[in-house]
Amino acid sequence: MSTQSEAKLEQELISQLAGLGYQHTPIHDEESLLANLKGQLGKFNNTSFSDKEFAAIQNHLAKGNVFQKSKTLRDRFQLNRDNGDSFYVRFFNSEDVTQNLYQVTNQVTVKGVYKNRYDVTPTGQWYPTGTGRA
């Protein structure tokens, strides 16, 4: 039985995901991960979010267990904008999943109580129906 390095295994997984339409996106820390999420949610919803608005979105996404969070991503979130308007944030196009563009990254380090490094992490980049993939 032959063995392969962890790095080679990661690269093969990333290659397989790329073959399924995932875009490899270099993200190495939590700050870059959150900046990517903020930007992609803005593109998907055809708007931009202030830091305060994005903090409210993050708070909404952090609630619940893994099953509740998966439902949260399929639903819409009513955000009270800084200007007082109400805005419904979408996270995923579940009506036409072909309109979602997926990303994969690797070796992301997140610091919390412990320092965690995630080997391969699929992430999402979403676009509204009709705009297609970038």
Range of the domain at 48: 6-126
Classify strands 100-111 and 23-24 as parallel, antiparallel or unpaired: parallel
Classify strands 100-111 and 86-90 as parallel, antiparallel or unpaired: unpaired
**Does the pLDDT value for residue 1 go beyond 70?**
no
Asked if residue 131 is part of any domain, the answer here is no
Closest CA to 32 of 107, 126, 114: 107
Asked if residue 132 is part of any domain, the answer here is no
Q: pLDDT tens for residues 93-131?
A: 888 888 887 899 888 888 878 787 877 777 664 444 334
The tokens for 88 are 């419904």
CATH classification of the domain holding 68: 3.90.640.50
Q: pLDDT tens for residues 37-79?
A: 999 999 999 999 999 999 999 999 999 998 999 899 899 999 9
Radius of gyration of the chain (CA): 16
pTM: 0.77
